[in-house]
Amino acid sequence: MTRLSVLALLMATDGLAAEPLKLWHAYRGGEEQAIEAAVKRYTDKTGVQVELLSVPYDAFSSKLTSAIPHDAGPDVFIFAHERLRQFHRLKVIAPSTGRLDRSKYIKSTVDALEVDGELYGYPLSLKTLALFLNTELVPDAPTTTDDWLKALERTTDPSKPRFGLAYAAGDFYLHAPFVFGFGAKLFDDTTGRATFDTPGMAKSLAFVKGLQDRGFLPQEVSGALVKSLFNEGRAAMVISGPWFTGEIDQAVKYRIVPLPTVTETGLPLMPFLGVEAALVSARTRQPEQAQALAEFLSLGEATALRVNPGRQIPAELAAYELTEVQQDPVISAFKDVAARAVPTPNTLEMAKVWEPMKLALRGVLQGEVAPEAAGQLAERRYRALNRDRPPDAPKLPYAIALVVALAGFAFWRWTKRGPAQAFARRYPEAARGLAWVSPAAVGIFVLIVIPFVWGISLAFFHHDAGEYSFVGLANFTDILTSKGYRVTEPLSFWFTLAVTIAWTFVNVTLHVSIGLALAILLKDPLLKLRGVYRVLLIVPWAVPNYITALMWKGMFHRQFGAINGLLSALGLEPVSWFTQFSTAFAANVITNTWLGFPFMMVVSLGALQSIPQDLYEAAEVDGASKWTQFRRITLPLLKPALLPSVILGCVWTFNMFNIIYLVSGGEPGGATDILVSEAYRWAFQRNEQYGFAAAYAVLIFFVLLGWTRLTRRLTGPEAA
């Protein structure tokens, strides 16, 4: 490794001047053509060779942060500004302060590139939200919310039905303009901490709720719905970004205008602004050339190429003087829009805002929480999710406890040892035996023992931004005392445990009863096409379960789902499955039952076939009805075969992450999350609290351990 890098270094210094600049990006289609053309111009002009690499977006960020520190990364790369602070912290990017000419760009796009007083990179293009008007329905752009409401009133027509406005209102990204427009601040100026419980926040929520209540805005809007409503002329206005232009039908006449100003506060509705920047690697060996390339990409010819064929909204002011841009209603419109936009904060704090805001927003839109109370709800969720770092625990007592425990265990084994006999005598072939088992033992050690011990150890640490600190049992006590929230809240361990147990119980009961019933039907030799049914019924089991989960998720959709389609065809009210606990839970159960019954059916079928037919005949002669035969003969004789499957089924269901995560996603408000999905969220969606999640996992382990011990005791005498 070291030898290789030395070699690489030697080669690098050797051919310094000749080495091409490396440029990484994640563009596709027209955007990719634009960057290729721009780079070609650059090489033509300066003679500097540039090597382009297109990286899949999903892996881009992690690739950059792992490659650059090892000198294997690019000299220049293109990335959205939201990650700047992280890149800065990992020392991946070089500042452009002093070199960058602020006056050449839209002001907000340069603001977005600032981290702790330094500027990084050169703004290329921007993304933000604007108001799309169907000009046939709304010829004049509303400038204030009062105007807007009038236009909405005028264009909304429940008989069609036609809505004045459509946008994904449940998404905080789309709600943010209202928050800022009603004068609320997302972060406290002095502490930098997120704030939710503010009058502006309440007003913004009340305003949007009003739009929905007055029928201006459809419920539970998704991106796909926005598109179809606008294209069918059933939504007069849409809030969306530049990407939406690609989704609008040719036939629709539309205009893009900035979002209106709130009459009450005089502030515009200010959307978030995302800026794509050309960033220079902190480890580049040719900083001058790299800076020059990055700057070149953000200005002049490169900008023109970005407009065409790239169809991006440029950050450079001069671009808007180009005739081509002035004639382009879409791109030119975004200059004004961008002027009002607020750069999405690149702070770590921003990452903590999404989940609480989503909770508040959904709660208000679904009518479960009053707009005034929603801020507090979000605040509580925020506090729960962003636990204060527990105090460091002294390590010594734990070390002593560990040693004592290990010694105690060793002593206990020693007292239970076999008769005192030379090991070699008792196991004369020990060496050969050990040789045979060692591959498996190594496998088990590496794949099971190490992760297990690692996971348990992790539960005693607190993780924050890459740093682990030993906190003793604090994670466990916080979980078990549900610190920061009530026991009856979805975030509480006990609440989730209760949900998990109910989930397991309901599922396994359904799996066994449906599986058994079908097995009994299928066993009947009079049934025609038995073989066909058997295969068909096993199909749900054979399909990968996340595919099934996604299919069911689609079928449960409020507006387009097959199930609601069926209900409305039967003249029943469509059900909004994921807004209430009971229906969301039911949706999960239905999906998992669909997945789970075939296993129980197969097990039951096998067990049923092992019951001799003459027992039923004897029982029949003894006077037993069919039902009595089932109860007194079938069930007791199935029990030994079925019990292990039931125990296994309980463990599987208890940890059935996929279904919960993919079908209800924990909605509403995390209430349908089970312990594993909750643990996952703590680890990967809530500020990377790995230690806390590991403590969850340890608790899950103990719950299941207790369960298997209990069932072993229950079945023990049976087995004996």
Partner 1 sequence: MTVLATPSAVNRGLERRVRRKGTPAETGSCTLPRVSGLRLVGIKKSYGDNPVVKGVDLDVAPGEFLVMVGPSGCGKTTLLRVIAGLEQVDAGQVLMDGQDLTPLPPRDRDVGMVFQSYALYPHMSVKQNLAFGLELRQVPPAEIDARVAEAAKMLELSHLLDRKPKALSGGQRQRVAMGRVIVRRPRLFLFDEPLSNLDTALRVQMRGELARLHRQLGVTMIYVTHDQVEAMTLATRVAVFNKGVLQQVGPPLELYHRPANTFVATFLGSPSMNLFEARRDGSRFVGQGFALEARGEVTGEVKLGLRPQDLSVAADGPFSGEVEAVERLGFDGYAFLKTAAGPLAARFDGSVPVDVGQQVKVKPLGDVVHLFSADGAKALWHPEARR
Is the Cβ of residue 101 or residue 617 nearer to partner 1 in the bound state?
617
The binder of partner 1 chosen from 13, 263, 628, 708 (CB under 8 A): 628
Tokens of 172: 């905080």
CB of residue 533 to partner 1, shortest distance in Å: 24
Any contact of residue 609 with partner 1 (CB under 8 A)? Answer: no
3-state secondary structure of 273: strand
Any contact of residue 524 with partner 1 (CB under 8 A)? Answer: no
Cα gap 537→602, rounded to integer Å: 9
Cα gap 581→578, rounded to integer Å: 7
Residue 624 near residue 633, CB atoms below 8 Å: yes
Is the Cβ of residue 288 or residue 718 nearer to partner 1 in the bound state?
718
Type and span of the H or E element at 601: helix 581-609
Any contact of residue 51 with partner 1 (CB under 8 A)? Answer: no
Any contact of residue 506 with partner 1 (CB under 8 A)? Answer: no
Q: Which stretch binds partner 1 (CB under 8 A): 76-84, 267-275, 611-619, 693-701?
A: 611-619
Is the Cβ of residue 551 or residue 624 nearer to partner 1 in the bound state?
624
Is the Cβ of residue 91 or residue 626 nearer to partner 1 in the bound state?
626
Any contact of residue 13 with partner 1 (CB under 8 A)? Answer: no
Any contact of residue 624 with partner 1 (CB under 8 A)? Answer: yes
* DSSP per position, 104-156: GB-HHHHHTTEETTEEBSEEEEEE--EEEEETTT--S---BHHHHHHHHHHH-
Q: Segment 478-497, which members bind partner 1 (CB under 8 A)?
A: none
Any contact of residue 617 with partner 1 (CB under 8 A)? Answer: yes
Any contact of residue 247 with partner 1 (CB under 8 A)? Answer: no
Q: Which stretch binds partner 1 (CB under 8 A): 187-195, 252-260, 614-622, 703-711?
A: 614-622
Is the Cβ of residue 169 or residue 516 nearer to partner 1 in the bound state?
516
Is the Cβ of residue 102 or residue 626 nearer to partner 1 in the bound state?
626
Is the Cβ of residue 350 or residue 633 nearer to partner 1 in the bound state?
633
> What's at 257, amino acid-wise?
V
Any contact of residue 632 with partner 1 (CB under 8 A)? Answer: yes
Is the Cβ of residue 116 or residue 614 nearer to partner 1 in the bound state?
614
Cα gap 392→460, rounded to integer Å: 10
For Cα atoms 87, 345, 116, give the angle at the middle one, nearest 5 degrees: 55
- CA distances to 157, 219, 251, 258 from 216, rounded to whole Å, are 9, 10, 23, 19
Q: Binding string to partner 1 for residues 636 to 675, with x set by CB under 8 A, is what?
A: xx--------------------------------------
Cα gap 99→113, rounded to integer Å: 13
Q: Which stretch binds partner 1 (CB under 8 A): 362-370, 505-513, 633-641, 681-689?
A: 633-641
CB of residue 635 to partner 1, shortest distance in Å: 10
Q: Which stretch binds partner 1 (CB under 8 A): 88-96, 213-221, 509-517, 616-624?
A: 616-624
CB of residue 524 to partner 1, shortest distance in Å: 16
CB of residue 634 to partner 1, shortest distance in Å: 11
Any contact of residue 453 with partner 1 (CB under 8 A)? Answer: no
Cα gap 268→533, rounded to integer Å: 63
CB of residue 614 to partner 1, shortest distance in Å: 4
Q: Which stretch binds partner 1 (CB under 8 A): 267-275, 477-485, 507-515, 613-621?
A: 613-621
Any contact of residue 14 with partner 1 (CB under 8 A)? Answer: no
CB of residue 516 to partner 1, shortest distance in Å: 17
Residue 469 CB burial class (10 angstroms; 0-12, 13-18, ≥19): middle
Is the Cβ of residue 564 or residue 634 nearer to partner 1 in the bound state?
634
- CA distances to 21, 70, 515 from 92, rounded to whole Å, are 16, 10, 56
CB of residue 531 to partner 1, shortest distance in Å: 21
Residue 373 near residue 197, CB atoms below 8 Å: no
Any contact of residue 439 with partner 1 (CB under 8 A)? Answer: no
Any contact of residue 714 with partner 1 (CB under 8 A)? Answer: no
Any contact of residue 539 with partner 1 (CB under 8 A)? Answer: no
Cα gap 665→625, rounded to integer Å: 46
The DSSP code for 390 is: P
The binder of partner 1 chosen from 544, 623, 716, 717 (CB under 8 A): 623
Q: Which residues contact 512 (CB under 8 A, 6 or more apart)?
A: 600, 604, 642, 646, 649
The binder of partner 1 chosen from 622, 684, 705, 709 (CB under 8 A): 622
Any contact of residue 703 with partner 1 (CB under 8 A)? Answer: no
- Helix, strand, coil percentages in the chain from 3-state DSSP, rounded to 5: 60, 10, 30
Any contact of residue 467 with partner 1 (CB under 8 A)? Answer: no
- CA distances to 130, 136, 152, 255, 370 from 141, rounded to whole Å, are 12, 12, 12, 9, 31
Residue spans of alpha helices (H) in 630-689: 635-654, 657-659, 675-684
Any contact of residue 608 with partner 1 (CB under 8 A)? Answer: no
The DSSP code for 318 is: G
Could you identify the residue written with the tokens 């002294």?
A: 394
Cα gap 268→145, rounded to integer Å: 9
Any contact of residue 403 with partner 1 (CB under 8 A)? Answer: no
Q: Residue 697: phi, psi to the nearest 5?
A: -60, -40
The binder of partner 1 chosen from 612, 705, 708, 712 (CB under 8 A): 612
Is the Cβ of residue 543 or residue 618 nearer to partner 1 in the bound state?
618
Is the Cβ of residue 480 or residue 619 nearer to partner 1 in the bound state?
619
Q: Dihedral sign, CA of 598, 604, 610, 611?
A: negative
User: Total binding residues for partner 1 by CB under 8 A?
Assistant: 17
Residue 48 near residue 75, CB atoms below 8 Å: no
CB of residue 505 to partner 1, shortest distance in Å: 26
Provide the terminal-to-terminal Cα distance of the chain, rounded to the nearest Å.
59
Type and span of the H or E element at 452: helix 450-458
Q: Which stretch binds partner 1 (CB under 8 A): 442-450, 487-495, 527-535, 615-623?
A: 615-623
The binder of partner 1 chosen from 52, 619, 641, 648 (CB under 8 A): 619
Is the Cβ of residue 324 or residue 622 nearer to partner 1 in the bound state?
622
CB of residue 622 to partner 1, shortest distance in Å: 4
Any contact of residue 188 with partner 1 (CB under 8 A)? Answer: no
Cα gap 457→472, rounded to integer Å: 10
Residues at the contact surface with partner 1, assessed by CB under 8 A:
612, 614-615, 617-625, 628, 632-633, 636-637
